[in-house]
Amino acid sequence: MANIKYQTNKGKIIEGNSIELLSGDMKEELKGSVNLIITSPPFPLNNKKQYGNEKGDEYLKWFVEMAPIFSDLLTEDGSLVIEIGNSWEPNRPVQSLLHLECLFGLVKHPDANLRLIQEFICYNPSKLPSPAQWVTVNRFRTVDSYTHVWWLAKSDFPKADNGKVLRPYSKSMLALLKRKKYNSGKRPSEHHISEDGFLKDNGGSIAHNFFEMEQVDNNREVRLPHSVLSFSNTNSNDYFLKTCREKGINPHPARMSGGLVNFFINFLTDENDLVLDPFSGSNTTGYCAEKLNRKWISFEILKEYIDQAIIRFSETETNHQLVETYE
């Protein structure tokens, strides 16, 4: 029996080990019904964190065993989006290949049916220097400032619509659309640009697979997709962080970016589709899904992070009453 701790009119938070629950009691209940699994599992760090993380071969085994579970949960056109950071060899200034082995393990698992659709890069210039021993102490390496985001699916053609995550046009493109002409013809790259190929107003330009979580250059306009909410894990004005400070709570140290979650929910699902996060932490995924009118299920093994999740839903702009079922 699932131990539901909080629920709203669209979703619920379940306390417990998601892999055990989704392999057992909940397997048949959710089989083939999840449109999007989006998560940031514990990264393979050399130092043990409070939120739990394995290392080396143990991490690889744990990670790869999720492949058939996730494959069974997804609808035939469903997607799996996983964010994972880099790792380093213990006590060595050498980057580990563990994250790549994890990816290969997912797509090559004999009991799963997953393939890599596209890789995204999530760049965060505010990340602390890491690995500290080889960046700030010995100064052998540069700052590890990005994470990988893998989009996998059961089908070569999963549900997706990049028209729902368009970026605003640049000023030069807006000017081009206004004057209705540009230099067409053959380019040095040998591409041939037609006379009217860029004259149709599609409402924006197609998004890139590079996420700039904070503006790198203040003199350059950052054009995020319309659907991406402008809040960042490092934003001091974020409602969640402000409330945590007021209550003397140490927030989850590895929160997934809300803008990232919003992007993929809009890109890969429709309203009332089901979104699932097996490692939800303070439940950014559920919060975003609720605001975007998707059904959602989140799992978290630590009670203190479930307690933090309620803070997100206490924001008045959420416009959804959270029903407390805490025992």
Question: In this predicted structure, what is the pLDDT of residue 311?
Answer: 79
Cα–Cα distances (Å) from 79 to 118, 136, 171, in that order, read 11, 39, 34
Question: In this predicted structure, what is the pLDDT of residue 1?
Answer: 62
Within the chain, residue ranges assigned H as helices are 18-23, 27-30, 56-64, 66-73, 98-108, 132, 171-179, 239-247, 258-268, 284-291, 303-313
Question: In this predicted structure, what is the pLDDT of residue 46?
Answer: 46
Q: Which value, to the nearest 10 degrees, does the dihedral of the CA atoms of residues 46, 47, 51, 57 take?
A: 30
| Amino acid in the structure at residue 6 | Y
3-state helix, strand, coil in the chain (%, to 5): 30, 20, 50
Question: In this predicted structure, what is the pLDDT of residue 165?
Answer: 92
Question: In this predicted structure, what is the pLDDT of residue 21?
Answer: 94
pTM metric for this prediction: 0.85
Q: Are 243 and 314 in contact (CB under 8 A)?
A: yes
List average pLDDT for each run of 10 residues in the chain, which is 327 residues long.
86 94 92 96 60 66 95 98 89 91 96 97 83 91 92 98 90 82 71 71 87 63 58 51 74 74 95 96 90 95 85 64 39
Count CB-CB contacts under 10 A for residue 314. 11
Residue 256 φ/ψ region, left for φ over 0, alpha for ψ in the -120 to 50 degree band, beta for the rest: beta
Residues 6+ apart with CB under 8 A from 205: 166, 167, 168, 169, 170, 173, 223
Q: What's the token pair of residue 254?
A: 């590895």
Question: In this predicted structure, what is the pLDDT of residue 234?
Answer: 40
Count CB-CB contacts under 10 A for residue 47. 8
Rounded Cα distance, 197 and 184, in Å: 9
- 192 three-class SS: strand
Closest by alpha carbon to 82, among 20, 40, 34? 40
Question: In this predicted structure, what is the pLDDT of residue 173?
Answer: 80
Question: In this predicted structure, what is the pLDDT of residue 153?
Answer: 98
| Amino acid in the structure at residue 164 | K
Q: Helix and strand tally (H, E) in the chain?
A: 11, 12
Question: In this predicted structure, what is the pLDDT of residue 239?
Answer: 72
Strands (E), 32-160: 34-39, 74-85, 115-123, 146-153
Rounded Cα distance, 227 and 263, in Å: 6
Cα–Cα distances (Å) from 117 to 108, 214, 226, 227, 276, in that order, read 14, 26, 23, 21, 19
Q: Are 77 and 282 in contact (CB under 8 A)?
A: no
Instruction: Kindly list the structural domains of the chain, giving each domain's residue range(s) and its CATH number in brackets, ordered by start.
Output: 3-166+208-324 (3.40.50.150), 169-203 (no CATH)
The number of residues making up the chain comes to: 327
Question: In this predicted structure, what is the pLDDT of residue 106?
Answer: 96
Question: In this predicted structure, what is the pLDDT of residue 312?
Answer: 80
DSSP state of 259: H
Question: In this predicted structure, what is the pLDDT of residue 231?
Answer: 41
Does residue 131 have a cis bond before it (omega within 30 degrees)? yes
Closest by alpha carbon to 309, among 277, 288, 281? 281
